[in-house]
Structure 1
Amino acid sequence: MADLARGVLLLVPNETVMATEDPGEPAPGDREVVRLQSGPSKGRTLRRKPRLQLRLPIGYDIARLRRALALALKMSDGEKTISVESADDRKKRGDDRATRARLEEDIEQLQRIIGDLAFEPLRGGITSRSEALHVMGFAPSAVPDQKAIRGRYRRLALVFHPDSPFGDHQRMSQLNEALEKLTRA
């Protein structure tokens, strides 16, 4: 019990401990029955005031100790939860939530953009160079070099690879066909 009380007093701010209702001393008529286990009075039954003995250094206020133990009981029963954090931690957590919300909005917007820009797979496959350029996102009359073609392929493969969030097997297959057609020429 002493370790529990000490732990609460060390981890929980004093204002929180002191805001907990003091359970107070036992009622005057409250008695516990104790059967003595040894000594000359072995087997004798005593009715005594309930007590809790804590071995702690001198200087702990008894009412504060009762409050700390009452708080521990409330936390154990799930009646009370506490968070050990500073005001800076709370502010940072709030900032993190705001940043996360903005990032989620950005991700949703990017998903809409990708959906709008994604090419529709060609039904008959890629039959010409202009169709291959279209699938890769180049203008039909463009003459990109091999480095530009491979760079575009890598970027589009990140988006359309079946293991990515926007993955599409058919689009990836057509990207592969387009790459083959454009690098063979």
Structure 2
Amino acid sequence: MTNASPPASGTVKHSYTIPCASAFRDAVEALAARHRVNVGDIARSVLLVMPSPVIAAFADPGEPPAGDRETVILKSGPAEGRPWRRKPRLQIRMAPGFEVSFIRRALALALAMDSGSMVLKLEDPNARPEPPPPPPPPPPATEVNHAIEAATEEVERLKAIVSVLAFDPLPHGISSRDEALHVLGFPPGSRPDKRTIRARFRMLATIHHPDSHYGSHHRMSQLNQAMEFLRD
């Protein structure tokens, strides 16, 4: 059997036996009684209005647990009149082609909608979509001007800091390891490893490269000279 859509009207109906827990059976039968329909009508209504993928994705209440059984009196056959313990079930007549678990899911969906835990919202396919909300108004011009002024002040402050921290090139060039380390910003007596030296050089090169905003050809040349000295 498949989870296909219900066949067209006039198709010969099939009798389904839906094993289920007693509480589930009682709830479905009570729902049908309140609406004065049979259980098959409830299942067919859900199949008509809900897409098959939605029904298939809904949790299956499953078969009854081992201890959930009902006693019936056999009405025919050699054991006629004797009691028989069997699984609780629902008997439904509807179009063929459905899996039992699919119908059980449809009935569970009906109970969920009846209890309000799931709401079915029907939309007009021809309705125009609601327009998106308007964008928020731009900030007042005074706020924009204050932000620009604050950013400009911060840039000027950073320029001053870079200018103060920038080293003065040694007039006679670099002639010792200590002088090379001084140009790279290391204190006297320090002995940084090669990795630390390379990292410091890259950082200073981004500041003092002639193409940068704060660049200086003289300082960049001395940075290169310091690295050459330390490589040797």
Bigger RCO (CA 8 Å, 6+ sep): 2
Structure with higher helix content: 1
Which has more radius of gyration? 2
TM-score by length of 2: 0.39
Structure with higher strand content: 2
